[in-house]
Amino acid sequence: MSDAQQAAIAPPKGPSWDELRVGLKVGPLSYLITPELVTSFCAALPVDAAPYLARGEMPATMLATDYIPLLHGTLELGWGLMARHSLKCLRPVRIGDTVTVTGEVTDKYERKGRHYWTLRYEVKDSAGATCLENLISCSVD
Amino acid sequence: MAAKLATEFQMTQQAIDAFGALVGQRAPQLKRTPGTGHHSDPAAAKSVGLRGPVAYSLHYYGHVADLMTQRHGERWLRGGEMAVAFIKPVCAGDDIRVVVGERPVQRPEQVPNGSHGFQVDVYNQFGELVAAGVATLPDEATS
């Protein structure tokens, strides 16, 4: 087995679910929304980037994976699987704008012997208006 | 109301890796080592009970938002919502079908007052429901 495989399979290191505190605020993250980010996201799905670029708007779920950097250093995500996600779109995020992403751990619970956490996180535009509200629950083992 | 929306695609390992690289594009300190972890390495995936490298749930979830954006545009982007539960893992090589509005909303309580709801279903090549939920649009009068 390669070192990379051993590292991948080894138990996770870092803060555990037990140490996670409900009410903990995470972030902020800040990004300039570029056409390149939009193009990369659309290519990965894959979907057509042209309509987004033509409208000058970011796909609504482009920053949904920000729970990963938001929780980095706060919770070792390990082998968790996503249980549910919800998204509320309030206004489009414009390409060229700089957005801020912040979150709060709103719940942690056990179900059928597995540990879960819930994070609410939102994307605000440079004017401070909330554009997107996300709520995610995942297991962590 | 409009007919169903649908898309089909194969969740290739290349697509999983490309999606996984997006976080590293925004946060370079979180750049993934190619070929490692349960999203890319079959041995790592099988060690945690998966059939194979697992896709990111938000990967195929993104297709729901894209379908809603392409069909409903500003009405979706200014007041639209979606909520999806992930039921089974999607693994590399799976054929995925995302459909919105193919059957009645299964949990009407998820549709806020003043909104119109669409059932969201995601199936794999075995016909198994791997994710399900609802997407909603604000009524015309409130959007």
Which domain, by its residues, includes A83?
A: 15-140
For residue B61, CA distances in Å to A1, B47, B77 come to 34, 25, 16
Q: CB of A42 within 8 A of CB of A121?
A: no
Average pLDDT of chain A, as a whole number:
89
All residues of chain B having their beta carbon less than 8 Å from the beta carbon of residue A64 are 58, 61-62
Domain residue extents for chain B: 5-11+54-142
Q: Is residue A4 part of a domain?
A: no
Chain A contact present for B139, CB below 8 A: no
Q: Is residue A85 part of a domain?
A: yes
Q: Is residue A1 part of a domain?
A: no
Q: Is residue A3 part of a domain?
A: no
Residue B71 has pLDDT above 80, yes or no: yes
What pLDDT, on the 0 to 100 scale, is given for residue B141?
Answer: 58
Question: What pTM does this model have?
Answer: 0.91
Span B5-11+54-142: which CATH code?
A: 3.10.129.10
CATH of the domain at A110: 3.10.129.10
All residues of chain B having their beta carbon less than 8 Å from the beta carbon of residue A90 are 78-79
Q: Distance (Å) from the C-alpha of residue B117 to the closest C-alpha of chain A? A: 13
Tally of domains within chain A: 1
Order the strands of the B5-11 sheet from edge to edge.
Answer: A25-32, A98-111, A114-124, A130-140, A82-89, B81-86, B129-138, B115-123, B94-100, B5-11
Q: In angstroms, rounded to a whole number, what is the distance separating the alpha carbons of residues A133 and A124? A: 9
A27-38: pLDDT as tens digits: 999 999 999 999
Give me the sign of the Cα torsion angle A24, A128, B116, B1.
negative
